[in-house]
């Protein structure tokens, strides 16, 4: 007999609800806990998971495997090519191990939610009690409803409700203990599971040698690293967060999104740590930097709530149905210039090159490049959303989709479509000295003064080797306004 925990995007031992429950169940039954992770190359393909993310996950699994082995808990990792075969294979393994209970944390994307529901039903037929529990959000989707009993679609009132809920439900921030030691005979009994080697990255998600070297030095894996990174941020940088979080060159954000996305850090424990670092030991009041950071982490919850409540956003549909009829451009050349950071707008190009080089992009820069693609180039925002997933190390469906909806004005944000970022003003405002641009666009390293934001315009001499602007912002702004208006007028 055994109890199984199925790891997905929750690759940690600390504060992991399903893992904790699985461990408790195993203890109460006096049987061992077995952990499982399934790699499905087809799933990676369907979700456009980036190779850098896959590499990070595989390296994290090694850390996890070692930590679990200390507790005599095996972590069995297997590659199952077809995503549809994954549930079947999991039940097969459960039977092979004689497991009566299977635990996992809920994922809210539509395919995943359906899979978990059908597995729970199937489990009943197979005599395996499957339990999928809410864990990834600080406040579970469905808990916060507005006055009319519906899900909020606007962040600010939702956030007030989120804070109020945590005040009235303080246990929501109690952390779950890591699993306890397996019975001593587990090692002997499951020897072949302990002896297994980690699978390699699937063919479709392999990094080149160069990329591997680069990304590995930038992104150390595992939950210990995640906690260290967070605590350093809370000790050293959070005080300035509110004032400097919008400046991409300032290195003032926590850079923990990769850990939230892979689950090497739980959002609950991050919020609890921020509260404990606050002078008043509360979520609101006290340290302004901490309050602001908490409200940013809450955005992650917010977008997951949106996704859980309006699953059609998972199906390539805009949140606002009236934006379905906008006529997008599918100009390949302009799209490629955008992806390669060759638009001739230095701030946009710096951002795209940061993404391509590191697998990460600063939030302000994400907003600027997304707005540029959707509004200035009028290119279908879903192409940008896809490109982000294929390149981000922190790719998370809900936050990415939410961010793109925000920038293309098709999402939950109540701002009307005529808010159109001016890429040069964004640059002047958020990278005033040009430090971010100079870092990522070396052709512009020697450009002095304001010309860094606009090297071919406003009397600047231009820079050899750096492209001219691919569109004129004033013209493209007018075109976007007309096109959005026309799209909204159509049935």
Binding site for ligand FAD (CB under 6 A): 245, 253-257, 260-261, 296-297, 299-300, 303, 362-363, 366-367, 370, 388, 392, 394-396, 399-400, 402-404, 407
Q: How far is the CB of 406 from ligand FAD (least distance, A)?
A: 6
Rounded distance between C-alpha atoms, residue 99 and residue 25, angstroms:
11
* Nearest-approach distance from CB 252 to ligand FAD, in angstroms: 8
Nearest approach, Cβ of residue 251 and ligand FAD (Å): 9
Select which of 328, 356, 390, 432 is catalytic: 328
Of the pair 16, 400, the CB lying nearest ligand FAD is at 400
Q: Choose between 28 and 415: whose C-beta lies nearer to ligand FAD.
A: 415
Phi, psi (5° rounding) for residue 266? Answer: -90, 140
Does residue 111 contact residue 27 with C-beta atoms inside 8 Å? no
Q: Is 363 a catalytic residue?
A: yes
Nearest C-alpha neighbor of 361 from the set 50, 108, 9, 47: 50
Check if 381 is active-site.
yes
**Is residue 219 among the annotated active site residues?**
no
The least distance separating ligand FAD from the CB of residue 293, rounded to whole angstroms, comes to 6
Q: Which residue's CB is nearer to ligand FAD, number 74 or number 423?
A: 423
Catalytic position from the list 6, 97, 293, 299: 299
Q: Exactly one of 143, 296, 390, 432 is catalytic; which is it? A: 296
Distance of closest approach, residue 195 Cβ to ligand FAD, in angstroms = 36
- CB of 384: closest distance to ligand FAD in angstroms? 7
* Minimum CB distance to ligand FAD smaller for 41 or for 359: 359
Per-residue 3-state assignment (H helix, E strand, C coil) for the chain: CEEEEEECCCCCCCCCHHHHHHHHHHHHHCCCEEEEEEECHHHHHHCCCCHHHHHHHHHHHHHHHHHHHHCCCCEEEEECCCHHHHHHHHHHHHHHCCEEEEEEECCCCHHHHHHHHHHHHHHHHHCCEEEEECCCCCCCCCCCECCCCCECCCHHHHHHHHHHHHHHCHHHHCCCCCCCCCCCCHHHHCHHHHCCCCCCCCHHHCCCHHHHHHHHHHCCCCHHHHHHHHHHHHHHCHHHHHHHCCCHHHCCCCCCHHHHHHCCCCHHHHHHHHHHHCCCCCCCCCCHHHHHHHHHHHHHHHHHHHHHHCHHHHHCCCCCHHHCCCCCECCHHHHHHHHHCCCCCHHHHHHHHHHHHHCCCCHHHHHHHHHHHHHHCCECHHHHHHHHHHHCCCCCHHHHHHHHHHHHCCCCCCCCCCCCCCHHHHHHHHCCCCHHHHHHCHHHCCCCHHHHHCCCCCCCCCCCCCCCCCCCHHHHHHHHHHHHHHHHHCC
Closest residue to ligand FAD, Cβ-based? 403
Catalytic residue among 24, 126, 131, 363: 363
Q: Given the complex with ligand FAD, which of 49 and 257 has the nearer CB atom?
A: 257
List 6, 158, 381, 440, catalytic entry: 381
- Residue number, 105 or 407, with CB nearest to ligand FAD: 407
Query: Cβ of residue 254: shortest distance to ligand FAD, in angstroms?
Result: 3
* Catalytic (active site) residue 440: no
Q: Minimum CB separation from ligand FAD for residue 109, in Å?
A: 13
Nearer to ligand FAD, 152 or 303 (CB): 303
Considering beta carbons, is residue 77 or 267 the nearer one to ligand FAD? Answer: 267
C-alpha dihedral over 480, 482, 487, 491, to 10 degrees?
170
Burial of 388 (0-12, 13-18, 19+ CB in 10 A): buried
Cβ distance to ligand FAD smaller for residue 107 or 454: 107
Can you name the residues that pair with 132 across neighbouring β-strands? 104
Whether 328 is catalytic is: yes
* Residues listed for the chain: 491
| Nearest distance in Å: CB 20, ligand FAD | 22
Among residues 158, 338, 404, 440, the one annotated as catalytic is: 404
Catalytic site positions: 296, 299, 328, 363, 381, 404
């Amino acid at each position: 007999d055994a109890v199984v925990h199925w790891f997905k995007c929750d690759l940690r031992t600390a504060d992991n609800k399903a893992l904790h429950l699985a461990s408790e169940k195993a203890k109460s039954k006096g049987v061992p806990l077995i952990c499982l992770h399934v790699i499905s190359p087809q799933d990676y393909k369907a979700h456009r998971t980036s190779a850098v993310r896959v590499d990070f996950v595989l390296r994290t699994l090694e850390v996890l495997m070692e930590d679990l082995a200390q507790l005599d808990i095996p972590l069995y990792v297997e590659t199952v090519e077809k995503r549809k075969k994954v549930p079947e294979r999991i039940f097969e393994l459960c039977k092979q191990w004689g497991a009566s209970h299977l635990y996992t944390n809920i994922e809210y994307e539509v395919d995943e939610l359906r899979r978990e529901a059908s597995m729970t039903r199937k489990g009943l037929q197979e005599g395996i009690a499957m339990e999928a529990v809410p864990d990834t959000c600080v406040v579970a989707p469905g808990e916060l409803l507005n006055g009319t009993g519906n899900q909020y679609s606007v962040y600010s009132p939702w956030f007030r409700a989120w804070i109020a809920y945590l005040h009235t439900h303080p246990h929501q921030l109690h952390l779950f203990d890591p699993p306890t030691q397996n019975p001593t005979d587990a090692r002997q009994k499951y020897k072949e599971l302990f002896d297994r080697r980690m699978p390699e990255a699937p063919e479709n998600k392999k990094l080149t040698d160069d990329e591997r070297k680069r990304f590995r030095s930038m992104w150390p894996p595992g939950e210990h690293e995640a906690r260290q990174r967070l605590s350093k941020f809370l000790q050293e940088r959070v005080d300035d967060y509110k004032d400097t979080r919008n400046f991409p060159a300032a290195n003032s954000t926590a850079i923990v999104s990769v850990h939230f996305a892979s689950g090497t850090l739980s959002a609950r424990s991050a919020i609890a740590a921020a509260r404990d670092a606050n002078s008043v030991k509360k979520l609101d009041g006290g340290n302004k930097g901490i309050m602001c950071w908490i409200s940013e982490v809450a955005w992650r919850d917010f977008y997951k709530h949106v996704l859980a409540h309006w699953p059609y956003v998972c199906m390539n549909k805009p949140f606002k149905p009236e934006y379905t009829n906008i006529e997008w451009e599918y100009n390949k050349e302009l799209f490629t210039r955008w992806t390669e950071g060759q638009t001739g707008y230095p701030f946009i190009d710096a951002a795209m090159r940061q993404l391509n080089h590191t697998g990460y992009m600063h939030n302000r820069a994400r907003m600027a490049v997304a707005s540029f693609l959707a509004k200035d180039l009028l290119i279908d925002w879903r192409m940008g959303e896809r490109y982000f997933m294929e390149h981000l190390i922190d790719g998370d469906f809900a936050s990415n989709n939410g961010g793109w909806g925000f920038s293309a004005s098709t999402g939950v944000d109540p701002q009307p479509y005529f808010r159109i970022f001016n890429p040069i003003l964004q640059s002047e405002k958020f990278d005033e000295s040009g430090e971010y641009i100079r870092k990522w666009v070396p052709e512009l390293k020697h450009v002095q003064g304001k010309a860094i934001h606009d090297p071919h315009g406003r009397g600047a001499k231009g820079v050899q080797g750096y492209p001219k602007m691919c569109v004129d912002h004033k013209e493209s702004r007018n075109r976007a306004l007309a096109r959005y208006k026309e799209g909204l007028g159509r049935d």
